[in-house]
Amino acid sequence: MTADDATAAERVTAVGFHELDTRMHRRAWPDPELRPPDRGALWIARVRHLVGTDPGGCWVAERDGELLGVVVSFVREKLWLLASYAVVPEAQGLGLGRALLAPALDHGRGCLRGMLNASSDPKAVRRYHAAGFTLHPQMFLRGTPDRTQIPVVRKVREGGAGDFDLMDSVDRQTRGAAHGPDHALLAGQFRLIVSESRTAQGYAYLDEGVILLAATDRRTATRLMWEAIASAEGEVLVGHVTPANAWAVDVGLAARLDLYQEGYLGLRNMRPPAPYLSHGALM
């Protein structure tokens, strides 16, 4: 895959994911052609970034110049991560997905540990299980919060590039590998907040809910999630909650959000990170 493939690859994932996305997202769209341009633009910027850092992890399948499938994977400090994986609906279930995943897994051959966000698609689940991943069911919280339940949020401030070292250190303590270059990309796309005391640190990227959250203790994680809820203007979405992160269920239900289940956190040779709510693609 090259950076020039990103626009066409975005279309492959838009149609490949269409049915799953309409189930999961608050801003469901009725037709793949109508995927909100803001989400498509974020996807393209992210994939160009990953093709830049990990060209050997990104592959496409094509026939007569037309893209049929895409896989985007990358390595951060000996952790292999899968950002995106899709085949167009007409070509699914014929072995193309297996062929695409092979070179992406090979890109991570030096890594024992692996992490990915799996959809509930049975075909995807078969591929990840075959690649040695354990599947941990995930929940998500969505709804309009009851604002009378929101506590006063203290010890949370806006973050910036000067916090990246602290954030990388929190990443290492929670998921075992820093986000490194991905923080600059995320900080350009989302609001960044940081909470830091003498004994605990944490951060979160926000956008009408939580995009990614990591903290060294549950108290800090809880503070950051309350800030996400307090600062959202309408509906809130907090995704990728594994059972190891019951603190997030506590906060979400206290805010009167609704609890649902969707997809899996796929992990190889590691425990579910906590307190941690992963980013859908950058983990």
Query: Should residue 254 be labelled a site residue for ligand COA when binding is judged by CB under 6 A?
Result: no
C-alpha 263/C-alpha 101 separation (Å) is 19
Name the segment binding ligand COA (CB under 6 A); options: 36-44, 107-115, 117-125, 229-237.
117-125
* Lookup result for tokens 């609704």: 258
- Quick one: CA dihedral 164, 207, 244, 265, positive or negative? negative
The single residue among 36, 52, 56, 93 that binds ligand COA, judged by CB under 6 A, is 93
Query: Should residue 126 be labelled a site residue for ligand COA when binding is judged by CB under 6 A?
Result: yes
C-alpha 50/C-alpha 73 separation (Å) is 8
The single residue among 73, 119, 174, 216 that binds ligand COA, judged by CB under 6 A, is 119
Q: Of the two residues 33 and 250, which places its CB atom closer to ligand COA in the complex?
A: 33
Total residues contacting ligand COA by CB under 6 A comes to 21
Query: Should residue 98 be labelled a site residue for ligand COA when binding is judged by CB under 6 A?
Result: yes
DSSP string, 247-268: HHHHHHHHTTPEEEEEEEEEEE
Contact 79, 177 (CB under 8 A): yes
Name the segment binding ligand COA (CB under 6 A); options: 16-24, 27-35, 132-140, 232-240.
16-24
- Quick one: CA dihedral 93, 99, 103, 106, positive or negative? positive
Query: Should residue 97 be labelled a site residue for ligand COA when binding is judged by CB under 6 A?
Result: yes
* Lookup result for tokens 């941690």: 276
Query: Least distance in Å: CB of 102 to ligand COA?
Result: 10
Euclidean distance between the first and the last CA atom of the chain, given in angstroms as a whole number: 21
* Lookup result for tokens 């009408």: 208
The maximal CA–CA distance of the chain, rounded, in angstroms, is: 59
Query: Least distance in Å: CB of 93 to ligand COA?
Result: 3
The single residue among 95, 151, 160, 243 that binds ligand COA, judged by CB under 6 A, is 95
Structure tokens at 189: 């796309």
Query: Should residue 3 be labelled a site residue for ligand COA when binding is judged by CB under 6 A?
Result: no
Name the segment binding ligand COA (CB under 6 A); options: 123-131, 177-185, 199-207, 221-229.
123-131
Q: Of the two residues 92 and 269, which places its CB atom closer to ligand COA in the complex?
A: 92
| Stretch 27-86 residues interacting with ligand COA (CB under 6 A) | 85-86
Note if the bond before 243 is cis, omega within 30 degrees: no
Residue nearest to ligand COA (CB): 97
Query: Least distance in Å: CB of 123 to ligand COA?
Result: 4
C-alpha 218/C-alpha 144 separation (Å) is 23
Binding site for ligand COA (CB under 6 A): 16-17, 20, 85-87, 92-98, 118-119, 121-124, 126-127
